[in-house]
Amino acid sequence: MLWLLIVLAYLLGSVSGSLCLGKLRGVDIRTLGSGNAGGTNALRTQGVAFALGVVLIDVGKGLLAAWLAGHFLPGNDMAAMACVFAAVVGHIWPLWHGFRGGKGAATLVGGLIMVWPQALVLLFAVWILCLLLTGYVGLSTVLAAISLLASAAWSDADAGVWWFAAASAMLLTFSHRSNLQRLHAGTENRFEKARLLGRLFSGRRG
């Protein structure tokens, strides 16, 4: 049953919110902006309403994957985490869309809501703080994913949770590798309007 649920979670994750909604609008956002089929590129290229729809679908996939595991294998937290991870893999490499998807953050957050909600406190705190300081969404997301390891340490988590935290952090770091490469090269796109703390501190130094 577990392997069947993992495969089902992967297939569920393969349903890309941006690509499905894009078909209704007649666009493929993988041909626009950064070329990524995720919420950030959806916002940049298609606007707030479209991006909100994308995020709701992608978060919902993680929620549903975790719910399915809880429904068919109640009390098995590791099964739920495995299904969430499979849904994130499906989002990044979607079977239905030529294995070219998004970067997995929204789907991971959806799954965490069900399987590890306590970790979201630090995750969102790290994401928001980094975004306010730097304006870099990709860097903020990578650091937020890595914060799962800190949450595992502070909660004295068992080995299964550590594996999930480490695997999720590595997967999102890998899926954001192009952002990190552009950041290193100095060509990464920045949401300047979000960099409130960064501008404040730079203004004080000036």
Determine the Cα–Cα distance for residues 66 and 62; give it in Å rounded to an integer: 6
pLDDT (tens place) for every residue of the chain, 206 residues total: 899 999 999 999 999 888 889 888 888 888 887 777 778 888 888 888 988 999 999 999 999 999 999 999 999 999 999 999 999 999 999 998 889 899 999 999 999 999 999 999 999 999 999 999 999 999 999 999 999 999 999 998 999 999 999 999 999 999 999 999 999 999 998 887 777 666 666 655 55
Contact (Cβ atoms closer than 8 angstroms) between residue 13 and residue 107: yes
Whether the model clears a pTM of 0.75, i.e. scores above it, the answer is: yes
> What is the reported pLDDT for 88?
98
Residue 93: burial class (beta carbons within 10 Å; 0-12, 13-18, 19+):
middle
* Helices marked H in 39-98: 39-46, 48-72, 77-92
The sign one gets for the Cα dihedral 41, 108, 175, 14 is negative
